[in-house]
């Protein structure tokens, strides 16, 4: 495995699947030590073993991305991890869930849970990481938003509102921390095939037919490559926002 001259430590939430998993692998392959977080311990252990087999370093910390105490524990475990050199340089705020349907017909009993994970938990992690990185005068916070956090879609209006919210939090945070040498990047993916669709409740009827004209959809690795690219830019360059869509995706 090729190492960077200065290996960094990256925390990645939502690393048991999809974009988070692919990002952890991409950063580990590039030589970063990774702290991987999600609820499913067994998936994290599998990924940690895969990274170790590649010659990389990984620490699995299970927890709920919407629970402030779990998030605080994730950061504390990272700082106590010998391999990480008692610091972290990168936080990828990625854990989240979707929800099929608009304002009229999405499942209202899931609205609070959606905001708990996608907005409040994500914002708490961004706040804690931002406070730490301002003190250190360096660091990267990468927030995974969505194209529906920029374009209101009648098919996923409530979910999209959570991504509008976290996009606003990301820009607010960026303005607070950029004078201190800390970068914030909002990555807005289009359609990526992952466990996301099943969790959100998409099926052939409400999803498959609509996306058929889009052609080949994204794989999690496509987003991971984008995140890896922006993180490796010189420290005076901050890609504030990036949208990555399948070429054939006209909307959203």
48 contributes a contact to ligand NAP by CB under 6 A: no
161 contributes a contact to ligand NAP by CB under 6 A: no
Rounded to a whole number of angstroms, the minimum distance from the CB of residue 99 to ligand NAP is 10
Q: What are phi and psi of 179, to 5 degrees?
A: -65, -15
| Catalytic residue flag (residue 159) | yes
At 242, is the secondary structure helix, strand, or coil? strand
Site for ligand NAP in 22-41 (CB under 6 A): 38-40
H or E segment and range at residue 42: helix 41-53
Stretch that binds ligand NAP, among 49-57, 62-70, 81-89, 170-178 (CB under 6 A): 62-70
Rounded to a whole number of angstroms, the minimum distance from the CB of residue 161 to ligand NAP is 12
Of the residues 68, 88, 115, 159, only one is catalytic, namely 159
Binds ligand NAP (CB under 6 A): choice among 10, 11, 19, 99? 19
Tell the residue number behind the tokens 């301002």, with chain if given: 134
Distances (CA, A) of 165 to 24, 146, 148, 181: 25, 11, 11, 24
Distances (CA, A) of 214 to 118, 211, 246: 26, 5, 7
Stretch that binds ligand NAP, among 73-81, 178-186, 194-202, 233-241 (CB under 6 A): 194-202
At 169, is the secondary structure helix, strand, or coil? helix
Q: Which is nearer to ligand NAP, 135 or 203 (CB)?
A: 203
Task: Provide the 10 A C-beta neighbour count for residue 102.
Answer: 16
Q: Which is nearer to ligand NAP, 117 or 184 (CB)?
A: 117
Reference 45, options 64, 60, 24; nearest CA is 60
Return residues touching ligand NAP (CB under 6 A). Answer: 14-20, 38-40, 43, 64-66, 94-98, 117, 144, 146, 189, 191-192, 194-196, 199, 220
């Amino acid at each position: 495995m090729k190492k960077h001259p200065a290996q960094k430590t990256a925390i990645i939430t939502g690393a048991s699947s999809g974009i988070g998993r692919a990002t952890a692998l991409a950063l580990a392959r590039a030589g970063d030590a990774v702290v991987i977080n999600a609820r499913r311990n067994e998936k994290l252990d599998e990924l940690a073993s895969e990274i170790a087999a590649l010659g990389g370093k990984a620490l699995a910390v299970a927890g709920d991305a919407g629970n402030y105490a779990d998030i605080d524990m994730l950061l504390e475990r990272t700082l106590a991890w010998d391999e990480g050199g008692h610091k972290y340089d990168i936080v990828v705020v990625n854990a989240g869930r979707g929800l099929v349907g608009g304002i009229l017909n999405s499942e209202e009993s899931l609205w609070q849970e959606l905001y708990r994970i996608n907005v409040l938990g994500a914002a708490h992690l961004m706040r804690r990481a931002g406070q730490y990185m301002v003190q250190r005068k360096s660091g990267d916070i990468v927030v995974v938003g969505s194209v529906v956090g920029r374009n209101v879609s009648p098919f996923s209006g409530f979910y999209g509102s959570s991504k509008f919210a976290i996009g606003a939090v990301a820009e607010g945070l960026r303005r607070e921390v950029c004078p201190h040498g800390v970068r914030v990047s909002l990555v807005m993916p289009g359609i990526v095939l992952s466990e996301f669709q099943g969790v959100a409740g998409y099926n052939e009827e409400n999803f498959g037919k609509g996306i058929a004209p889009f052609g080949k959809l994204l794989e999690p690795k496509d987003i991971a490559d984008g995140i890896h690219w922006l993180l490796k830019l010189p420290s005076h360059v901050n890609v504030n926002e990036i949208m990555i869509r399948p070429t054939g995706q006209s909307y959203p």
